């Protein structure tokens, strides 16, 4: 009997380790803050991604606002969503990011998984003009970076769900101002909003408009 105990014990330990690994595989990836920042620095960005300066501004705005429930229109590969997601995670909130392209949405979800933000940020596939009205609850932060001529439509689709004090950020509002003239005019002329356009990053020689919903 003594001759068989060691192999049986080894087999038992191997099975325990295998089961443990299987359980752990379903858990969110755990990354330190330093590892996340390294992932962000090494992110394979293209011209379609949010610039690092703009992404950091978004994160700071989320944290400063204390935002708890936000929506991003236009995920692409998730660079902006990751930065905002860190802010929402710190605030104990969540972010919905909307992407029309299924393949790109899958890449976004994988990037969110890699940094352990899949429980904080949910990527929804589909046309934002159709998915925005289906979102439930109230929102205190919005970032729009999708089809420029549709910015006003995106805003109107989510506006009934915005709480007083909500922050709306729109990208590319200098170089694409003509395409979104109705959107910018609405915010400028509406007494319920205060707005300003800033240049957080010179990489794209463009800017973002930040609006505050007074009531």
Residue 10 resides in a domain: no
Residue 6 resides in a domain: no
pTM of the model: 0.85
Cα–Cα distance for residue pair 195/209, rounded to 1 Å: 7
Cα–Cα distance for residue pair 124/110, rounded to 1 Å: 13
Residue 11 resides in a domain: no
* CATH, residue 74: 3.40.50.150
* 3-17, 33-47, 59-73, 114-128: segment of lowest average pLDDT: 3-17
What is the extent of the structural domain holding 95?
A: 33-213
Residue 12 resides in a domain: no
Count the Cβ atoms, other than its own, within 10 Å of residue 214: 12
Residue 172 resides in a domain: yes
Cite the DSSP H helix spans in the chain. 2-25, 33-41, 52-65, 79-91, 102-114, 128-131, 151-158, 181-189
pLDDT single digits (tens) 169-195: 999 999 999 999 999 999 999 999 999
CA-based angle 47:50:173, to the nearest 5?
95
Residue 27 resides in a domain: no
pLDDT confidence band for 201 (50 / 70 / 90): confident
Domain count, the chain: 1
Residue 55 resides in a domain: yes
pLDDT single digits (tens) 85-141: 999 999 999 999 999 999 999 999 999 999 999 999 999 999 999 999 999 999 999
Residue 183 resides in a domain: yes
């Amino acid at each position: 009997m003594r001759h068989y105990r060691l192999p049986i014990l080894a087999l038992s330990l191997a099975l325990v380790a295998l089961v443990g690994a299987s359980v752990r595989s379903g858990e969110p990836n755990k990354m330190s803050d330093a590892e996340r920042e390294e992932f962000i620095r090494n992110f394979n960005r293209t011209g379609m991604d949010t610039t690092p300066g703009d992404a950091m501004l978004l994160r700071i705005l989320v944290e400063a606002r204390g935002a708890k429930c936000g929506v991003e229109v236009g995920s692409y590969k998730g660079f902006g969503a990751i930065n905002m997601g860190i802010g929402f995670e710190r605030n104990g909130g969540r972010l919905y990011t909307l992407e029309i392209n299924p393949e790109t949405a899958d890449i976004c979800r994988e990037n969110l998984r890699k940094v352990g933000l899949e429980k904080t940020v949910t990527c929804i596939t589909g046309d934002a003009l159709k998915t925005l009205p289906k979102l439930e609850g109230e929102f205190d932060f919005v970032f729009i970076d999708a089809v420029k001529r549709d910015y006003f439509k995106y805003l109107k689709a989510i506006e009934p769900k915005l709480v007083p004090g909500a922050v709306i950020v729109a990208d590319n509002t200098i170089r694409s101002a003509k395409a979104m003239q109705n959107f910018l005019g609405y915010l400028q002329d509406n007494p319920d909003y205060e707005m300003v356009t800033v240049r957080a990053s010179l990489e794209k020689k463009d800017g973002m408009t930040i609006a505050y919903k007074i009531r």
